[in-house]
Amino acid sequence: MRAAVTTLFTVTSLAVLAAQSAGPVRNDTMHLTVNTSISDTQVAAGKKISLKFDITPKRGMHVYAPGKHDYQVIAVKLDPQPWLKIAPTSYPPSEIYEFKELGEKVETYGKPFTLVQDVTVLSTAAAKKALAAPVKLTGKLEYQACDDKVCYAPAKIPVSFDLTVK
């Protein structure tokens, strides 16, 4: 019994430490593997933090990059907060995917790539009031994936970061 309680306490302690760390969180879908991390979980007025999305499309899959097309571009969508200023997402260079059957050439990502979303903690009175206690930064990564035969329904991966106020 004591060994079971000790094991449970150790597993619980490790889960708490993992939740508090800024280390990557892995999410696997049918289309992608996404490792999400944050530059710092300690926030203060005027401080910039970066959210990093290391994305690896599964074999044969691609997602859409910004470009001259009407397909759904992979995007970070953070929930608005009164204490947060969201900068535009940084996208890496894309590659061109040719849909031979449609005669189209489209900007995509079919190899591993990284999106970076910078955010700044505001110094306003409303921000300082909202930051009187720990806060949670939430949102989602939205995308549509395709292979060489099928475009799948758009998908959303929820993201969440617990932040501590300095």
Nearest to 36 by CA among 163, 157, 164: 157
Q: In 2-124, where does DSSP find H-type helix?
A: 2-20
Q: What is the pLDDT averaged over residues 90-115? A: 93
**Predicted local distance difference test score (pLDDT) of residue 128:** 80
Q: Per-residue pLDDT for 5 more than 80?
A: no
CATH number for the domain formed by residue range(s) 22-165:
2.60.40.1250
pTM of the model: 0.82
- At residue 148's C-alpha, the angle toward residues 146 and 153, to 5°, is 25
Cα gap 106→100, rounded to integer Å? 11
Tell whether the torsion through CA atoms of 42, 157, 52 and 123 is positive or negative.
negative
> What residues does each domain of the chain span?
22-165
**Predicted local distance difference test score (pLDDT) of residue 36:** 96
Lowest mean pLDDT among 18-27, 29-38, 110-119, 122-131: 18-27
Beta bridge partners of 56: 33
Model confidence over 27-77: pLDDT tens digits? Answer: 999 999 999 999 999 988 889 999 999 999 999 999 999 999 989 999 999
What DSSP designation does 44 have?
Answer: -
**Predicted local distance difference test score (pLDDT) of residue 18:** 35
Task: Concatenate the DSSP letters of all residues of 5-33 into one string.
Answer: HHHHHHHHHHHHHHHHS---EEEE-SSEE
Q: Per-residue pLDDT for 3 more than 60?
A: no
